[in-house]
């Protein structure tokens, strides 16, 4: 216990702890809708497109890679929705094409002159590198998300489950989809710097997938997802500190253990 408390003697660990208290619930709540709307592939594609965002930012002379990622992510998210609505290909095909192109473009541009190694940290992330400015940025994103969730969740849920009914009630389904995709893009791009693009999708999906098997209502589904995400994040942070491994990867391993436990419990309930 003393060793556990001792890790908070370091400022970077206190910052990482505060960040995880905000980041884990944010990803958990967002993940419930991502799983319900079957958008896991879209979230994964967003993560891969981050490389293109960094590359575009470098070409435009943007000093902060996150600005390039967020800007590109917004264009990517809107483009996916419009392409899916107006195109003749399936949603998975459209997302796959956009994702492959964005990732290839990012690797191509960032590899010029053998400079890709400078950006390899974005692959695995580093939550221990969060500073005070990052905490304020994350708090701002969380605040915007909570306001959105409070005022638009019912419309979003109806749009996801019954789009025709939503249209009949005057809800603009296309704009709801664009707004949510934009929100996902912002959260994913802001988080990648700290958790890594290789695991960001798993951090969104795995806690929600585990909770979905054990929940009997929307409210319990969201609460359990946030709980699993928060526990996974904090345990992953502790593992990261003592084992010197990426916190994002540790988060996913802990969340995956919850998922496996949920599978076992769900089967036992089915037999009872």
Residue 213 lies in a domain: no
Query: Number of structural domains, the chain?
Result: 1
Q: 72-76, 104-108, 253-257 — which one is most confidently predicted on average?
A: 253-257
**Phi-psi sector, 48: left (phi>0), alpha (psi -120 to 50), beta:** alpha
Residues 46-81 pLDDT 10s: 877 787 888 878 777 777 777 888 888 888 888 877
pTM higher than the cut 0.95: no
Q: Average pLDDT, stretch 22-37?
A: 86
Answer yes or no: is 60 within a domain: yes
φ/ψ bin of 89: left (φ > 0), alpha (ψ from -120 to 50), beta (otherwise): beta
What's the pLDDT at 224? 93
What residues contact 31, with CB distance under 8 A and at least 6 apart? 203, 204, 205, 207, 208, 225, 229
pLDDT for 228 equals: 94
Identify the domain containing residue 96 by its residue range: 7-200
Dump strand ranges (E) for the chain. none
In a domain, 57, yes or no: yes
Q: What is the pLDDT of residues 209-251, one digit of tens each?
A: 999 888 888 888 889 999 999 999 999 888 888 888 888 888 9
Q: Are 70 and 32 in contact (CB under 8 A)?
A: no
Q: What is the CATH number of the domain that holds 188?
A: 1.10.3470.10
| Residue 249 placed within a domain | no
């Amino acid at each position: 216990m003393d060793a556990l408390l001792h890790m908070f003697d370091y400022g970077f660990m206190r910052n990482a702890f505060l960040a995880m208290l905000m980041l884990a619930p944010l990803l958990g709540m967002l993940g419930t809708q991502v799983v319900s709307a079957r958008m896991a592939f879209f979230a994964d594609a967003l993560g891969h497109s981050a490389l293109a965002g960094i590359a575009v930012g470098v070409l435009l002379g943007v000093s902060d890679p996150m600005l390039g990622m967020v800007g590109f992510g917004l264009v990517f998210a809107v483009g996916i929705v419009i392409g899916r609505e107006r195109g003749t290909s399936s949603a998975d095909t459209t997302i796959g094409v956009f994702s492959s192109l964005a990732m290839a473009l990012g690797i191509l541009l960032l590899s010029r002159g053998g400079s890709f190694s400078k950006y390899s940290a974005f692959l695995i992330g580093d939550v221990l590198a969060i500073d005070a400015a990052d905490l304020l940025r994350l708090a701002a994103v969380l605040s915007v998300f909570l306001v959105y969730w409070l005022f638009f969740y019912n419309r979003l849920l109806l749009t996801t489950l019954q789009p025709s009914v939503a249209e009949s009630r005057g809800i603009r389904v296309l704009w709801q989809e664009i707004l949510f995709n934009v929100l996902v893009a912002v959260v994913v791009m802001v988080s990648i710097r700290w958790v890594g693009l290789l695991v960001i999708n798993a951090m969104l999906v795995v806690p929600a997938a585990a909770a979905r098997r054990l929940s009997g209502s929307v409210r319990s589904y969201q609460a359990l997802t946030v709980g699993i995400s928060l526990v996974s994040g904090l345990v992953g942070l502790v593992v990261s500190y003592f084992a010197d491994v990426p916190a994002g990867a540790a988060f996913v391993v802990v969340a995956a253990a919850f998922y496996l436990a949920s599978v076992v419990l769900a089967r036992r309930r089915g037999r009872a």
